[in-house]
Structures are given as C-alpha cells and as structure tokens.
Amino acid sequence: QVQLVESGGGLVQAGDSLRLSCAASGHTFSTYVMGWFRQAPGKEREFVTSISASGGITYYARSVKGRFTVSRDNAKNTVYLQMDSLKYEDTAVYYCAASSASGRFYYTNEERYDYWGQGTQVAVSS
C-alpha cells in the first residue's frame, strides 16, 4: 500500500512558477513509476507527465512540455512537479499517482496507476 500526499498548490498569476511535491509512504517508492495528472473544472482528468522509477526517463503532455519539469528524489520518497510560465489554462486540481505496472518506463493512461493522492489546487489568474 502506498499513500500519496500532494502539496504546493496555490493561487498565482500567469507567468509565475509553482513547485508541487508529492510525498509517498512505504519502502518501495523507488520501484514505482510516478505520474502527475490534472482535472480542470468541468473537464475530465488528463495526463500531465510521468517519470520512470529511477528518474532517468520522463514524458510530458504536449500542453506542458518545455514549461513543466518532473523529478523525483527516491531517498526522500518524493516526486516534484516544477511548473514555470504558468497559464490560465493550467488551472486545475493536480494529482500525483503511483504505478506498480512493469514493462514500460512511463505511463500516460491513468488506468495503469494504482495509487492516487488527494490532489492539490492550482489556480492561475490571467
């Protein structure tokens, strides 16, 4: 069982930066592929980024590539999402998720993820 707790959300202006953190419980964090997803009001949850278990491979949604950076510190059981050049359309609840699936370095499909955090709100004013 893995418990995930996100933090770092808030209200910012367009062009600002935020860093989200996701702290995981348990001793097997380094074996999980981690992902970030987001859900805007009235929309379905969508993939943002994923990072391999070792942290060496990352993948981004086209909408955030070049602005967002995912990283992880396996010694601290934490995954981060650095969000730069924020846009109004980045407003959403952001969720981190952990996948125990094997075979790939990252996953974009939320069905591949076993554990989810409670989410943290990010609001970007234009």
**pLDDT tens digit string along 29-88?**
999 999 999 999 999 999 999 999 999 999 999 999 999 999 999 999 999 999 999 999
Sheet containing 4-7: which strands, arranged edge to edge?
4-7, 18-24, 78-83, 68-73
CA distance 55 to 52: 5
The pLDDT of residue 27 is above 80: no
**Quick one: 92 exposed, middle or buried, by C-beta within 10 A (0-12, 13-18, 19+)?**
buried
68 and 84 Cβ atoms separated by less than 8 Å: yes
7 and 118 Cβ atoms separated by less than 8 Å: no
- Determine the average pLDDT of the residues in 14-19: 98
The helix (run of H) or strand (run of E) holding residue 89 is none
CA distance 112 to 55: 18
What's the CA angle centered on 113, arms 109 and 38, to 5 degrees? 65
